[in-house]
Homo-oligomer: A and B are copies of this chain.
Amino acid sequence: MSHPLFEKHRIKLDNALKAIQTRGYWAAYNEMPSPKTYGETAAEDGKRAFEAHLGQKFDLAQPGQADWHGGEQSPFGVELNIQYPVCEAQALIDAGQQAMTGWQAAGCEGRTGICIEILDRLNQQSFELAHAVMMTTGQGWMMAFQAGSPHAQDRGLEAVTYAYREQSFVPLDALWEKQQGKNPPLVMKKHFEVVGRGVGVVVGCGTFPTWNTYPGLFAALATGNAVIVKPHSNAILPAAITVRTIRAVLAENGIDPNLVTLCVAAKRETTQQLVTHSAVKSIDFTGSNVFGQWLIDNCRQAQVYAELAGVNNIVIDSTDAYKSMLRNVAFTLSLYSGQMCTTSQVLFVPAGGIETEDGHKSYDDVCTDLARTIESTLAKPEVALAVLGAVQSAATLTRIDEANSGVLGKVILASKKLNNPEFPNAEVHTPALLACDAADEKAYMEERFGPITFVVKVADTAAAIALSERVVSTHGALTTGIYSTKPDVLDAMTAATWRSKVALSINLTSGVFVNQSSAFSDYHGTGGNPSANASYADSAFVANRFRVVQRRYHM
């Protein structure tokens, strides 16, 4: 007897299974906030649902609650003033462990069906979640909707699909029959039980609290584990809404809702206690190298899946579409004020300039033309505000000031603060573009998160490719790009990315950008360079999250 929710979502799962095998374009959830998909009143209902949280206590009925805590500051300057339950880490762990027995008994199909039901329900809350993401992260509305809701849900479904595929390879039982010549055969019955490894902790980040959380959350959950979601202190609401919905769907289906809980920690020590607890067997983390490395060094009892920082870069060798190239790069640097883990930070340009369909362009031409293109991209205020969103953290504001000061390199384009009439307190900042030499490694060769990009002058294309490879191998990167009309240059860059293990975008000039990663098609991170030790999503992201326990007996 298959689980009813597995049957209900079977077609979606089959399509998703096909998608992860072909990795062409596919999406389960509509990225357009269309009334046809989401309902005529969805936009208004979602906004109201979001607003209903403001100034309230967000109750989750979790065990071990000792206090309330809040304090999220909106980059748009909106008052949030929401309080969340603070629960004892030990109580959450105990409750999660207890809930795992029933979750194991649901079996792979039951877990898969329930996880997809959860994602469908989150999809119905896409507008509410989008407002929550926008107001806590500073993303513009359209990005908050797309990345915060359908794209995140697709990444979650992708993880569930990989988890299903790997678990479904483990047969429930087997008949083992070994011939013994003239004697009767040896016959054994064997049973194989998929068992989650233990409690998983998912540590969210401040910029993409759902997109970067759902893969680990659903990978751990679908493979039979309890999950404790530890959100970033400034982006709790999207996680809290998510956890509430998960708990509701679990309870509706006879699963102890304490399988998934929210851990809001007022003190850093609480988080450290949680992640180093012996019962915690996996940790999914997105964030800074410092805390990521601390997790890897200190949480030896757990498998840590870490997405850290990197120095994403583009090599510009030549192009037959100069203006399109500049527009493409300018949009990448502007989108969400460069606050994506995939935004390019370094552009390598040969000292001798580049050949284009519009003739030779010197290094200085490229700098100037890119600066102008950024300005024209953001010339219309309504476009600029929609594209840039707001700056999420004070640390990024400090980095912008530093970039503007000229200490990091010659300022080609200074970052400017823009006024947002709708949100007068919003921190809106345009990209800063700096010029420096390849030798100025201290300036460009560490992640400077935010709208700060270096146009680095290199001896020639070969040196640029070599430098790109070294940057990726030693400092990590989630994305690289190259612009070239020469096949041998593209081949050399391709070979370099195989060695440094980083995704490469080639000659992007139209509606796809180097910082975009499409669920079911683009592997986000390779897990092979210092920016991340795992990828969204592949077999390695799920296969080690469960164990197979067998028993056998004579027939």
Distance between A484 CB and nearest chain B CB, rounded to angstroms: 11
- Separation of A511 and B539 alpha carbons in the complex (Å): 37
B-side contacts of A166, CB under 8 Å? 539, 543
B526 touches A548 (CB 8 A): yes
Distance between A553 CB and nearest chain B CB, rounded to angstroms: 4
Kindly identify which residue among B180, B508, B547 contacts A535, using a CB–CB cutoff of 8 Å. B547
B-side contacts of A277, CB under 8 Å? none
Distance between A171 CB and nearest chain B CB, rounded to angstroms: 6
B-side contacts of A527, CB under 8 Å? 544, 547
Interface centre among A104, A511, A547, by most chain B C-beta atoms within 10 angstroms, is A547
Interface centre among A497, A527, A551, by most chain B C-beta atoms within 10 angstroms, is A551
A528 touches B186 (CB 8 A): no
Q: A553 and B176 in contact (CB under 8 A), knowing A23-B192, A498-B104?
A: no
B547 touches A544 (CB 8 A): no
Q: A547 and B186 in contact (CB under 8 A), knowing A180-B511, A512-B554?
A: no
Interface centre among A171, A296, A498, by most chain B C-beta atoms within 10 angstroms, is A498
Interface residues of A in 162-190 (CB under 8 A from B): 166, 169-171, 174-178, 180, 186, 188, 190
B-side contacts of A548, CB under 8 Å? 523, 526, 535, 538
Q: A552 and B522 in contact (CB under 8 A), knowing A24-B176, A177-B25, A512-B188?
A: yes
A540 within 8 A of B: yes
A518 within 8 A of B: yes
Closest residue of chain B to A507 (Cβ to Cβ) is B553
Q: A521 and B190 in contact (CB under 8 A), knowing A24-B177, A543-B539?
A: yes
- Separation of A192 and B197 alpha carbons in the complex (Å): 30
B-side contacts of A15, CB under 8 Å? none
B553 touches A510 (CB 8 A): no
Give per-residue flags for A519-546: 1 if the beta carbon is below 8 A from chain B beta carbons, else 0.
Answer: 0011100111000000100111001100
- Separation of A505 and B195 alpha carbons in the complex (Å): 18
A506 touches B551 (CB 8 A): yes
Q: A554 and B24 in contact (CB under 8 A), knowing A540-B544, A548-B526?
A: no
How many copies of this chain does the complex contain? Answer: 2
Q: A528 and B543 in contact (CB under 8 A), knowing A24-B176, A174-B22?
A: no
B501 touches A195 (CB 8 A): yes
- Separation of A523 and B178 alpha carbons in the complex (Å): 17
Distance between A63 CB and nearest chain B CB, rounded to angstroms: 21
A1 within 8 A of B: no
Interface centre among A175, A494, A544, by most chain B C-beta atoms within 10 angstroms, is A544
A549 touches B503 (CB 8 A): yes
A21 within 8 A of B: yes
Kindly identify which residue among B296, B510, B526 contacts A547, using a CB–CB cutoff of 8 Å. B526
A550 touches B528 (CB 8 A): no
Distance between A18 CB and nearest chain B CB, rounded to angstroms: 11
Distance between A31 CB and nearest chain B CB, rounded to angstroms: 10
A509 within 8 A of B: yes
Residues of A within 8 A of B (CB): 20-25, 104, 166, 169-171, 174-178, 180, 186, 188, 190, 192-193, 195, 197, 296, 300, 494, 497-498, 501-512, 518, 521-523, 526-528, 535, 538-540, 543-544, 547-554
26 interchain pairs, CB-CB under 8 A? A22-B174, A23-B174, A23-B190, A24-B174, A174-B521, A176-B518, A176-B521, A186-B511, A188-B512, A197-B528, A503-B549, A503-B552, A504-B549, A506-B551, A506-B552, A506-B553, A508-B553, A509-B554, A510-B554, A522-B550, A526-B549, A527-B547, A535-B547, A538-B548, A540-B544, A544-B544
| Given A23-B174, A543-B544, 15 other A-B residues pairs in contact with their CB atoms under 8 A | A21-B169, A25-B178, A166-B543, A176-B518, A186-B512, A197-B528, A503-B552, A504-B552, A508-B554, A509-B554, A510-B554, A512-B554, A526-B547, A538-B548, A540-B544
